[in-house]
């Protein structure tokens, strides 16, 4: 089968930067990341082989050095780490840090901050913590239509959101809010991957979206490809691909989330080419 890889797929700037920081720091001894450094279980497992361990809470941290992941942490966790005397290695992507700043500035200027994103995602929890007590996360325009906006509203986006959804939420708030300021904080790496995935999905028989099941940006790519109306599969590794899926298909497209390493993309490509 012919296999085409999307023009933008796999590791983004922020993920590469986080990995470089951590690998460099690990040269001087073991360290821990607060939650997974990036949302890819295979990479996290490889890091563990290099003395970089993922812990679920600061109480579990034993090495004295804690890494904040690429998607950022809440203010409370940041303060707690300092209070505990831990050495902090901040691997948060600068684009995520910028959203925190936008949210903080909006809150300081009296805006109710709306974060377009998944409220259970760690990046969104971090942004909310910077955005004041009235801030809220929404994931669809319907959620904001249920509300009556009496004061001015500031809107930011989880860096990995769909642009379309961000625009829909902003439009829905604008229907009733007395004033609205919106910052499209979706990062360029996400936009590049989304555009490239859409373009590729329109020109192939089947799409494979490669990345961690816990990766928000991979989930968005899957959503985009599914909307095109061709068969689309989200897989973490090549071993999940079934022969039946590709029966009768001539060309497969492959895209991958921003936290998917090249070696996993290559394995998927090789498997599909051999089918
Ligand atoms: Fe940063 Fe965007 Fe990647 S926020 S970690 S460059 S997906």
Q: In the beta sheet, which residues pair with residue 66? A: 32, 88
Residue 56 clears pLDDT 90, i.e. is over it: yes
Percent of the chain with pLDDT over 70: 100
Length of the chain (residues): 275
**CA-closest residue to ligand 1 atom 3:** 14
What is the four-CA torsion angle of 89, 90, 93, 99, rounded to 10 degrees? Answer: 180
Residue 92 clears pLDDT 90, i.e. is over it: yes
pTM for the model stands at: 0.90
Residue 261 clears pLDDT 90, i.e. is over it: yes
- Tell me what pLDDT residue 147 has: 85
Q: How far is the CA of 223 from the centre of ligand 1 (A)?
A: 18
pLDDT in tens, 110-152: 999 999 999 999 999 999 999 999 999 999 999 988 888 889 9
**CA-closest residue to ligand 1 atom 5:** 14
Both tokens of 208, joined, read: 């494979």
Give catalytic status of residue 56 as yes or no. no
What mean pLDDT value characterizes the chain? 95
- Tell me what pLDDT residue 197 has: 97
Distances (CA, A) of 179 to 147, 164, 203: 15, 21, 42
**CA-closest residue to ligand 1 atom 6:** 14
Give the 3-state secondary structure of residue 254.
strand
Ligand 1 atom closest to the Cα of residue 94 is 1
Q: In the beta sheet, which residues pair with residue 112? A: 153
The pLDDT of 197-222, averaged and rounded, is 95
Band of the pLDDT at 11, cuts 50, 70, 90? very high
């Amino acid at each position: 089968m012919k296999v085409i890889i999307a023009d933008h797929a796999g590791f983004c700037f922020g993920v590469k930067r986080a990995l470089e920081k951590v690998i460099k720091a690990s040269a001087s001894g073991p360290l821990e990341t607060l939650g997974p450094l990036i949302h890819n279980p295979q990479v996290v497992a490889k890091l563990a082989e290099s003395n970089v361990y993922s812990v679920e809470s600061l109480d579990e941290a034993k090495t004295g050095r804690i890494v904040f992941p690429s998607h950022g942490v809440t203010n409370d966790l940041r303060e707690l780490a300092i209070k505990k005397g831990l050495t902090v290695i901040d691997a948060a992507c600068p684009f995520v840090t910028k959203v925190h700043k936008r949210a903080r500035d909006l809150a300081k200027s009296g805006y109710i901050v709306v974060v377009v994103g998944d409220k259970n995602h760690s990046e969104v929890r971090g942004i909310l913590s910077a955005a004041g007590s009235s801030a809220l996360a929404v994931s669809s325009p319907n959620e904001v239509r249920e509300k009556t906006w009496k004061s001015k509203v500031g809107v930011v986006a989880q860096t990995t959101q769909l642009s379309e959804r961000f625009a829909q939420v902003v439009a829905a708030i604008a229907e009733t809010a007395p004033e609205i300021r919106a910052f499209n904080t979706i990062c360029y790496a996400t936009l590049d991957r989304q555009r490239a995935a859409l373009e590729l999905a329109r020109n192939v028989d089947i799409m494979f979206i490669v990345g961690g099941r816990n990766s928000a940006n991979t989930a968005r790519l899957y959503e985009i490809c599914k909307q095109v109306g061709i068969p689309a599969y989200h897989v973490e590794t090549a071993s999940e691909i079934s022969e039946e899926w590709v029966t009768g298909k001539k060309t497969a497209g492959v895209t991958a989330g921003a936290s998917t390493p090249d070696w996993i993309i290559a394995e998927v490509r090789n498997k599909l080419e051999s089918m």
